[in-house]
Amino acid sequence: MLSEIFLTPIGRGARLSCASALRPIAGQYLLAHAEGTHQVLPAALFVRAADGMDLVIAPPVPEDWLPGTEIYLRGPLGNGFHPPIAVRHMVLADLSGHQGQRLLKLVSDAADTSMETVLLSDSAPADLPLEIEFLPLKAFNEVLAWADYLAVEMGLQQMNLLRELSGVQTNRDFHSAFEVLVDTPLICGGIASCGVCSVRVNNHWQLACKDGPVFRLSHLSEDE
Ligand code: FES
């Protein structure tokens, strides 16, 4: 059940009280359908934090969801982030306008509490934990030299921008551990094979809803 709605500059976030503990890793998603609304297609939800049986959902959630609405969830679905075990310097970069909210669970999932984290984005969430340093996207290239792991969220149309910010010529030049959450519609979760989420990976088509939405940056094909 949806227990709380909170407002942010990028839309409404939500807290869900679940009947059973769901534990998607960062980058995985849940497909959600709300009872008694006009929702036709399921909404893909990304968990920002888990608290007991409660899930904090990163904004935006559908506008007509209200506290008390029953939400039916399917998942966790897809491939999430898999950072190396020993990460000392983690960089989260959001080119998608989501303030890094879909990436922040990487920090709470990390085993090493001494890890240092920088978030690069257009703007910061109001409740960004103090231990995460916020910097604007123009600092990207400088911070990348410090990172041993990078997690990006972006649309495929921003691939050129990411290469430019990173100072690399081709996707193969990205460190093999660096990963990207592709911001794309995730409608059917692979059940209907609608193809709306297709991504070229190593010169083959893959489905972001099933094979992603997280991929290795160095595996994305150049024509993306
Ligand atoms: S959303 Fe339909 S195949 Fe991916």
AA identity, residue 177: A
- Report phi then psi at 217, rounded to 5: -60, -40
- What percent of the chain shows pLDDT beyond 70? 99
* Cβ(190) – ligand 1 distance below 6 Å: yes
Distance 8 CA to ligand 1 centre (A): 28
Pocket test for ligand 1, best of 197, 205, 206, 215 (most atoms within 8 A of CB): 197
pLDDT at 204: 93
pLDDT at 160: 93
Distance 191 CA to ligand 1 centre (A): 7
Residue 68, phi-psi category: left (phi > 0), alpha (psi -120 to 50), beta (remainder): left
* Cβ(104) – ligand 1 distance below 6 Å: no
**Is this prediction's pTM over 0.85?**
yes
Distance 166 CA to ligand 1 centre (A): 30
Statement: residue 224 has pLDDT above 60: no
Tell me the sheet residues that pair with 200.
Answer: 205
* Cβ(44) – ligand 1 distance below 6 Å: no
The residue among 194, 154, 155 whose CA lies nearest residue 42 is: 194
> What average pLDDT does the chain have?
92
Distance 208 CA to ligand 1 centre (A): 7
The residue among 114, 111, 72 whose CA lies nearest residue 89 is: 114
Strands 43-45 and 29-34, bridge-based pairing? antiparallel
Which of 18-22, 82-86, 191-195 reaches the highest mean pLDDT? 82-86
Distance 199 CA to ligand 1 centre (A): 11
pLDDT tens per residue across span 20-32: 878 899 999 999 9
pLDDT at 137: 94
Distance 209 CA to ligand 1 centre (A): 5
CA 199 to chain centre: 16
pLDDT at 223: 66
**Cβ distance 52 to 18 under 8 Å?**
no
Using CA atoms, how far apart are residues 59 and 5, in angstroms rounded to an integer? Answer: 10
pLDDT tens per residue across span 138-174: 999 999 999 999 999 999 999 999 999 999 999 999 9
What average pLDDT does this structure show over 170-190?
A: 93
Residue reference for tokens 């007509």: 64
End-to-end CA separation in angstroms for the chain = 38
Pocket test for ligand 1, best of 187, 199, 201, 211 (most atoms within 8 A of CB): 187
The residue among 98, 79, 91 whose CA lies nearest residue 9 is: 98
Supply the DSSP symbol for 144.
H
- What percent of the chain shows pLDDT beyond 90? 73
Which ligand 1 atom is nearest residue 195's CA? 3
The residue among 96, 85, 140 whose CA lies nearest residue 118 is: 140
- How big is the chain by its Cα radius of gyration, in Å? 17
Residue 216 pLDDT level (bands cut at 50, 70, 90): very high
Tokens linked to 120 = 């690069």
Distance 185 CA to ligand 1 centre (A): 8
Using CA atoms, how far apart are residues 96 and 190, in angstroms rounded to an integer? Answer: 23
The residue among 98, 100, 132, 104 whose CA lies nearest residue 118 is: 132
Strands 149-154 and 179-182, bridge-based pairing? parallel
* Cβ(186) – ligand 1 distance below 6 Å: yes
